[in-house]
Structure 1
Amino acid sequence: MTSVTGAAVTKTEPGMFCLVLHSHLPWLANHGRWPVGEEWLYQSWAATYLPVTAVLRRLAAEGRTRLLTLGITPVLAAQLDDPHCLDGMHHWLGNWQIRAHEAAGMSSTSQRELGAREHRASAAALEDFETRWRHGGSAVLRELIGAETIELLGGPLAHPFQPLLDERMRAFSLTEGLADARARWNHTPSGIWAPECGFTPGMEAGYAAAGVSHFMVDGPALRGDTSAGRPVWDSDVVAFGRDLEVSYRVWSPKTGYPGHAAYRDFHTYDHDTGLKPARVTGRTVPSEKKAPYDPALAAAAIDKHVDDFVETVRRRLRSESERVGRDALVVAAFDTELFGHWWFEGPQWLEKVLRALPEAGIEVGTLADARARGYVGEPVELQDSSWGSGKDWRVWAGDQVQDLVQLNAEVVQTALDTIDKSRDSNPEHPELRNRVHDQMLRETLMTVSSDWAFMVSKDSAAGYARDRAHKHAHALREIADAVASGRDDVARRLADGWNAADGLFPALDARRLPGPLTETAAFAGSV
């Protein structure tokens, strides 16, 4: 039975449906504003994080629990709590309202209507932000965790592509990421969203040592059989696979819902105000010929796509359950930013779907629920995989990003060698907190963020991405050089300066970096 607005709704369909959302942006604070930089954060915050959490609060107030599995990466969580970002967001929302006023005062009817809609939206966003978010996002998310509205997925610090990362740094990044979640939410996630769903054999042992019980992979990694979670190799760690048939129903470049003619067009701007006035109209229609946005048309499309998705899930549950001879699991997974930022109507669709699925007799739960209720099959010998192009590593290790692959390897080795030598110089003394070592590891992890290779491979602000990787690499190198040459005062000054520039992950502690000869033991004892 599922509680829906106080009424009991009977499960009539086989199996279980899980919705998984992955929330992530690279560290953007103080690294440019437009066209790439903090604007990306503030747009996503206003269009996705505010409305999606509001949807979840409304559903929680009706007594609904375990609605979805929500991944929040440590680097995004840090920005949602960062004082600079909070001030910047408040200013951004105020500027949005000013732009709405400007549109409302223009001569054309369509611009006035646009201005009125945007004024209402910006006023609601400001009230929500000032009431709930002004002192950070952790309290907002903690409320949802405490109410069991969501299952929280964690992840490693700074979102590295783990299969290409040195095992010691991989272990450190993961355990620090879980510790960061504990510090923010008084909750250590048992599941994670592996960055880019990247996997290579052996990672399951690291997950088990860190206390991770389950993680996400893409459907092809499980050879397309996503009807149950699968223990990985000889571990008890379970991999859940994204069902592509259901997921692509929503987010497909050719046929996904957001491309419907009635929905608001992401790419078309009113250049006087920076607002978005048009609907998609047609996939090949140029921006200057797109029709004005009509909320009534969009609302009708939302209802149509809610019905279509519920029916898609129903058919998939039935067909997969019949195929495997038992109740099947269906997992749909998306970037959270799809809902609102990329697809304006996404939060409205999400709220209606989360109501409609149980009302249609479909059991909805989290990944932890699926594991607890026995949606786990036979072990799988999981191979190298990701959810990127080709479902392999080409996006993060292909020819076009070999310079970044080499840069990452060099930076990681420099950091490890420098810290190891510094530790070896004082073997008789207890290791004290070393802020220089801490900053070296911060800069290293920022360098190896998977976002930079992704942006280069997809030719999306590739110059910005390379600049960011090299900037953090430069910071690491100059601190490490000062340490190696015995200029301790210079190393401290440099570390303090680079830390002031970004100021993230203050609890990161280099003493928890596994030693070169005791990786497994150090890893297991560091959580």
Structure 2
Amino acid sequence: GDTDKKELYDPEKGTAQARKDAGTFLQNRIRQCETISALMDRPPLIVAPFDAELFGHWWFEGPQFLDALFREFHSTEHQLAQVTPGEYLHVWPHSQVTRPAFSSWGDKGYGQVWLDGSNDWIYRHTHKMVERMAELVDRFPDEKGLKLRTLNQAARELLLSQASDWPFIIKTGTTVLYAERRVKNHISNFNRIYESLCRNTVKTEWLTKLEKRNNIFKDIDYRAFRRREPGISA
């Protein structure tokens, strides 16, 4: 906390507290389901979305908490099951539809941190990249070899350009030059790939270096950007 009185970090105490918190979390969810079940015509579904970077970054014992939670889940007698929202809807397809209001954890609870006069220039580029990525899928629907690698790298560059960290950093004024450079590099890489594919002039050496440098999403499939008819889900 915001105090000058800091105690030395004790990893054993931290681990013990994480395990205790995991048990408390599970017991509270069990009681919550027992209460809600009496009011519903189907098993209740609890969705627990978390920002992944909380586990291990802002909360050092976060990974230990998750480990303890799942171990506790499987060693405790209860009626809960671990499912994805999709699996739940497969069993209970007719459910009430709601539309949450647009909100965020950012300043004032809206989107002004990520869409501001300092960073709004990003989006005209990323929107165009999405259009071009869909165009590439239409033109090259089932590629293999070098073209497949090139198209997959285009998808990586697009996703990297869309990382919310870049506009956030630019708005908050921390490492602005770094964030701007990253966005511009990914945009430039994508555009070069797009033009190379259109001209059939992909350079293997350049592509290989780019794959090694920006190698996130190893198993990405560029076809994920295929256009879909309205009302049809993936």
Alignment of structure 1 residues 122-201 onto 2, 5 Å: none
Structure 2 match to 1:14: none
The CA deviation at 1:457 is 4.7
Distance in structure 1 (CA, Å) of the matches to 2:91 and 2:49: 20
| Contact 2:37–2:44 under 8 Å retained in 1 | yes
2:185 alignment partner, one of 466, 471, 485: 471
| Contact 1:455–1:465 under 8 Å retained in 2 | yes
Distance in structure 1 (CA, Å) of the matches to 2:116 and 2:173: 13
1:338 alignment partner, one of 48, 51, 54: 54
Are 1:378 and 2:95 matched, yes or no?
yes
1:402 alignment partner, one of 104, 120, 132: 120
Are 1:520 and 2:228 matched, yes or no?
yes
SS in 2 for 1:365: coil
Distance in structure 2 (CA, Å) of the matches to 1:445 and 1:327: 36
SS in 1 for 2:50: strand
More strand by share: 1
Cα shift readout 1:440-498 (whole Å, capped 9, x = no counterpart)? 554334323444334445656443222111012122344555677x6x6xx423x6414
Structure 2 match to 1:500: 209
Structure 2 match to 1:359: 76
Distance in structure 2 (CA, Å) of the matches to 1:431 and 1:349: 43
Gaps of 5+ in 2: none
Say how many residue pairs are matched.
222
Distance 1:311 1:398, change over 3 A: farther
Distance in structure 2 (CA, Å) of the matches to 1:511 and 1:338: 31
Distance in structure 1 (CA, Å) of the matches to 2:90 and 2:80: 14
| Contact 2:56–2:62 under 8 Å retained in 1 | yes
Structure 2 match to 1:328: 44
SS in 1 for 2:78: coil
Distance 1:317 1:456, change over 3 A: farther
The CA deviation at 1:293 is 1.9
SS in 1 for 2:119: helix
Q: Which amino acid aligns with 2:10?
A: D
Cα shift readout 1:43-82 (whole Å, capped 9, x = no counterpart)? xxxxxxxxxxxxxxxxxxxxxxxxxxxxxxxxxxxxxxxx
The CA deviation at 1:313 is 1.8
Q: Which amino acid aligns with 2:228?
A: T
| Contact 2:154–2:193 under 8 Å retained in 1 | yes
Q: Which amino acid aligns with 1:405?
A: Y
| Contact 2:30–2:78 under 8 Å retained in 1 | no
| Contact 1:388–1:395 under 8 Å retained in 2 | no
Alignment of structure 1 residues 229-268 onto 2, 5 Å: none
Using structure 2 for the length normalisation, give the TM-score: 0.65
Distance in structure 1 (CA, Å) of the matches to 2:131 and 2:117: 22
Distance 1:460 1:388, change over 3 A: farther
Distance in structure 2 (CA, Å) of the matches to 1:432 and 1:306: 47
Structure 2 match to 1:32: none
SS in 2 for 1:329: coil
Distance in structure 2 (CA, Å) of the matches to 1:304 and 1:416: 48
Distance in structure 2 (CA, Å) of the matches to 1:512 and 1:295: 43
The CA deviation at 1:304 is 4.0
2:14 alignment partner, one of 277, 298, 306: 298
Distance in structure 2 (CA, Å) of the matches to 1:310 and 1:509: 36
The CA deviation at 1:385 is 4.2
Distance 1:364 1:458, change over 3 A: farther
Distance in structure 1 (CA, Å) of the matches to 2:42 and 2:219: 46
Cα shift readout 1:347-398 (whole Å, capped 9, x = no counterpart)? 3333333344462635232225544554x66341536746553775545444
| Contact 1:384–1:392 under 8 Å retained in 2 | no
The CA deviation at 1:325 is 6.3
Question: How big is the alpha-carbon RMSD for the aligned residues of Structure 1 and Structure 2?
Answer: 4.4
The CA deviation at 1:509 is 7.1
Distance 1:372 1:467, change over 3 A: same
Are 1:349 and 2:65 matched, yes or no?
yes
2:3 alignment partner, one of 280, 285, 296: 285
SS in 2 for 1:364: coil
Q: Which amino acid aligns with 2:65?
A: W
Distance 1:506 1:317, change over 3 A: closer
Distance 1:396 1:497, change over 3 A: same
Distance 1:395 1:365, change over 3 A: same
Distance 1:395 1:318, change over 3 A: farther
| Contact 1:401–1:456 under 8 Å retained in 2 | yes
Distance 1:458 1:388, change over 3 A: farther
Q: Which has the higher contact order (CA 8 A, sep 6+)?
A: 1
Cα shift readout 1:164-223 (whole Å, capped 9, x = no counterpart)? xxxxxxxxxxxxxxxxxxxxxxxxxxxxxxxxxxxxxxxxxxxxxxxxxxxxxxxxxxxx
Distance 1:348 1:483, change over 3 A: closer
Distance in structure 2 (CA, Å) of the matches to 1:311 and 1:431: 49
SS in 1 for 2:21: helix
Q: Percent identity?
A: 24
